């Protein structure tokens, strides 16, 4: 197996010595051991036991300690590179007895109406699983609670079931995010009924960007679970395959929801542009009617204001009000005509 002999250098030629935090959980049907802030040496010692060992690594930004972990567990150079570069798409790779999985964890801020994602990667072998998370997360707490319960199914199964459990809680978290996104889209739809604004189009564009993030996170996840399902029998237990099929069904359901959201956002964009066009047409229609009404009035005043040698109003005192009456009659007649044609 190809192993990493030297730390991966940063772009400036050095290696970041940022500290990370390790959490150790070891268990089998009868035993359970848990330690926060464990050392790498303690984790390595526990690997030698017949228990399932779960090492959680928090903080993976180009750290020398991550490189040390990769060296001790003989992780492939490409695996280490994918762990440190946290912008990878979800995928599953196999390296002899190790299976490496990358997934995307989504976070939705209701205050900022903003969707973000982060990378969760993990590698597992016959007796151990190492998860790498960018920052402290509580998403694994349900899994840890199950492990603490003696007699729970997870205590009698191997690392493949633990890997399934991680994927399961990540996929379940997508439903929570989608519910929040759905609420936000409903609010945007309500805003379409009020006069358009620049802020509305910005919100629609942000929602469109969120759909891209959701799609990029979920479509590769379907391939990950599908490949997980079809691993060799020595890498996955038949019991785990049954549960993975359920995760696969959830992913298909989520993809359908996301596609529906994309259609909704596209429809909102069309409605917004249609409202803009309708508003513009209404303005142009009003200006056109005003211009049309003033064309004959302008003609009358222009003709009346010509420099004739004989001015009627100088000899006929009621002629000036008569001209005003004619102008008013023409304007009202045109308005009635427009109303009859239902142009007003």
Terminal-residue alpha carbon distance, the chain? 81
Query: In the prediction, which pLDDT does 3 show?
Result: 36
Mean pLDDT of 142-151: 90
In-domain check, residue 203: yes
Q: Which domain holds residue 302?
A: 283-340
* Same domain (yes/no): 175, 301: no
Indicate the number of domains in the chain.
Answer: 2
* Same domain (yes/no): 319, 300: yes
Indicate yes or no: pTM above 0.85.
no
pLDDT classification of 310: cutoffs 50, 70, 90:
low
Mean pLDDT of 337-343: 78
For residues 344 and 125, the model is more confident at 125
The 3-class secondary structure across 275-301, one letter per residue, is: HHHHHHHHHHHHHHHHHHHHHHHHHHH
* Same domain (yes/no): 330, 298: yes
* Same domain (yes/no): 90, 232: yes
DSSP letter for each residue of 203-222: HHHHHHHHHHHHHHHHHHHH
In-domain check, residue 10: no
d(CA 269, CA 172): 29
* Same domain (yes/no): 203, 316: no
- Where among 236, 258, 275 does a domain terminate? 275
In-domain check, residue 14: no
* Burial degree of 19 (CB within 10 A; 0-12, 13-18, 19+): exposed
* Same domain (yes/no): 216, 263: yes
pLDDT classification of 101: cutoffs 50, 70, 90:
very high
In-domain check, residue 67: no
Over the stretch 226-274, which tens digit does the pLDDT of each residue have? 999 888 877 788 888 999 999 999 999 999 999 999 999 998 888 888 8
Cβ neighbours for 224, distance < 8 A, ≥ 6 positions apart = 90, 91, 92, 101, 102, 103, 167
* Same domain (yes/no): 102, 237: yes
């Amino acid at each position: 197996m190809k192993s990493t002999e030297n730390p991966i250098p940063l772009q400036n030629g050095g290696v970041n010595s940022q500290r990370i935090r390790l959490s150790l959980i070891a268990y089998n049907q009868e035993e359970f051991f848990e330690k926060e802030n464990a050392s790498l040496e303690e984790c390595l010692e526990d690997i030698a036991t017949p228990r399932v060992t779960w090492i959680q690594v928090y903080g993976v930004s180009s750290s020398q300690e991550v490189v040390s972990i990769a060296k001790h567990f003989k992780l492939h150079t490409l695996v280490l590179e994918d762990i440190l570069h946290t912008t990878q798409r979800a995928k599953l790779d196999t390296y002899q007895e190790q299976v490496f999985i990358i997934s995307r964890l989504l976070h939705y801020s209701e205050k900022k109406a903003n969707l973000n994602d982060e990378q969760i990667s993990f590698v597992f072998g016959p007796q151990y699983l190492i998860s790498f998370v960018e920052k402290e997360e509580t998403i694994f707490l349900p899994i840890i609670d199950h492990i603490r319960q003696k007699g729970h199914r997870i205590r009698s199964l191997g690392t493949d079931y633990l890997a399934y459990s991680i994927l399961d809680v990540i996929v379940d978290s997508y439903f929570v995010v989608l519910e929040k996104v759905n609420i936000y889209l409903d609010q945007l739809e309500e805003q379409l009924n009020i006069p358009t604004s620049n802020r509305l189009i910005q919100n629609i564009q942000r929602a469109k960007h969120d759909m891209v993030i959701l799609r990029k996170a979920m479509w590769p996840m379907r391939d990950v679970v599908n490949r997980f399902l079809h691993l060799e029998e020595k890498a996955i237990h038949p019991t785990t395959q049954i549960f993975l099929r359920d995760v696969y069904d959830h992913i298909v359901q989520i993809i359908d929801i996301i596609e529906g959201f994309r259609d909704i956002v596209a429809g909102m964009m069309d409605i917004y542009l249609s409202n803009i066009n309708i508003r513009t047409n209404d303005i142009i229609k009003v200006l056109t009617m005003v211009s049309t009404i003033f064309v004959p009035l302008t003609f009358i005043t222009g003709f009346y204001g010509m420099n004739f040698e004989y001015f009627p109003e100088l000899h006929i005192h009621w002629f000036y009000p008569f001209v005003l009456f004619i102008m008013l009659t023409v304007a009202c007649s045109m308005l009635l005509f427009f109303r009859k044609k239902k142009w007003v």
